[in-house]
Structures are given as C-alpha cells and as structure tokens.
Amino acid sequence: MRKVAAVLLGCLVLTGCGASWKGDEVRYKIVSVDNSTPTEMFKIELVGADPKGILDRHSLTPRFQTPGDISGGAAVGDEILCTARQEKGSAFGNSKVKTYLSECKKA
C-alpha cells in the first residue's frame, strides 16, 4: 500500500510542475503598424530559425509590441532584439504557453 501511495504522490508532483524557457536577444522584424486600436502597435515576427528549447513557436511569433517598449526609435522594416520568456502552467491551472517580451531594442 505504501508503494502505491508513493507512486501516486510522485505522479501528482510531476503533473503539477510547469515549464519555462528564457532566450536572450531573440531577433524580430517589425513588419507593419496596427492602428486598429487606440494604441499604435508594431506587428513583429521572428527572424531566422526558432531559438533552441522554446516551448511553443505559435506563442513566440507573430507578436504585437508598442513602439514605446522598443528603445532606439525603431520603425517598420527594422529588426529588434528582445529578451523572451515562455511559461507553461501546471496541469492543475492554465496549461497554455504564455510568452513575455522585455528589454526590446533596435538591432
């Protein structure tokens, strides 16, 4: 009985763990400006191959970023570098992958 309890507890712990990934200087290209909302947004797409270890490509590209969040005065056609972080929730919570971009700057 103790073995069964230990196995079940181990499975419970494993399914409850989330995953994460962080990539420094992930390269994006600004492909367009979206003015459909009150806040102007740049549509950005990943440049080149997928970074190693990402959890979900579809959560990484395409993305929308406000011009104020990019240092260096970027415009459509420019490439930018961002720190990207992906997190996947546990089996008990939201298990979707969420991507966060920070420290974006003109390449």
Closest to 55 measured CA to CA, from 26, 25, 98: 98
In a domain, 8, yes or no: no
CA distance 17 to 56: 17
Residue 93: predicted pLDDT: 65
SS3 71: strand
pTM of the model as a whole: 0.75
In the block, residue with structure tokens 């104020």: 68
Residue 13: predicted pLDDT: 42
Continuous H helices in 55-96: 57-60
What's the domain count of the chain? 1
Provide the domain limits for residue 55. Answer: 18-106
CA distance 63 to 102: 12
Under-50 pLDDT residues of the chain: 4-16
In a domain, 7, yes or no: no
In a domain, 90, yes or no: yes
In a domain, 1, yes or no: no
